[in-house]
Structure 1
Amino acid sequence: ALDEEALVSILTQPTNAVLKQYKRFFEMDGVDLEFEPSVLAEIAHEALQRKTGARALRGIIEKMMMDVMFEVPSDTTVKKVIIPHGAVSGKSVPLLLTEEELQRQAS
């Protein structure tokens, strides 16, 4: 059976890894997509709870990303999306940052 670490590798390592696919999708709209490291463990943990192994990963991510997938393409001011800890359980929501907010963070 796969453990949490193996599931995180499946999410991030292969050329066609699910998270890389999402990053590319957002890049097409000029948006940087970032997953906080703890979110990867959350996704893997949820997949283990479902006892379906790697098959559960895509579904968990799709559910977590649903609203953002619709919001971001229609809002050209968004330049970065951060998926925070707690996003899998719905305890926190993705952060949508504009160019102005990114510049403020940098200074």
Structure 2
Amino acid sequence: MTDREDRRRHTRCSFCGKGQEQVRKLVAGPGVYICDQCIDLCQEVLEEDNRSTSQKRVKSGMMPTPQVIMASLDQHVVGQEHAKKVLSVAVYNHFRRIANSKANSDIELQKSNVLLVGPTGCGKTLLAQTLAKIIDVPFSIADATSLTEAGYVGEDVENILL
């Protein structure tokens, strides 16, 4: 048996201890390994934590109401009253939907998307940037002209970084 085969046989997940032959995938890091099952478990824990944080935010009143969001947008953006109103309600409903996703399975809030359309310089990016600051989420701007529908020509969506 070669040294490489011996190392491969003794490679184990650093979290659960399962060997490489017991799992589908084993991801290597600097001196550690994690299996696909532990990755799935970690993802579930993080999703539950995010849900509970959103629920606490709603219950404690930390989540801004549409009126508060609208007032903050009014301080930074001139005009675009209808867009500010729609975005304020959409963001509030998004947080409510996240908070209620597991807590009340009998209540279902519909998912909705918002598309900002308008000529250059009318304030679409400013609205999105300001909203991101208000609700404390990351914001990224990317040039989408290099991305293609085909997927194998041009850049890839994964190249957009925050």
Do Structure 1 and Structure 2 share a fold, with TM-score over 0.5? no
TM-score (ref. length: structure 2) = 0.21
From the CA coordinates, give the structure whose radius of gyration is larger. 2
Give the number of the structure with larger relative contact order, counting CA–CA contacts within 8 Å between residues 6 or more apart: 1
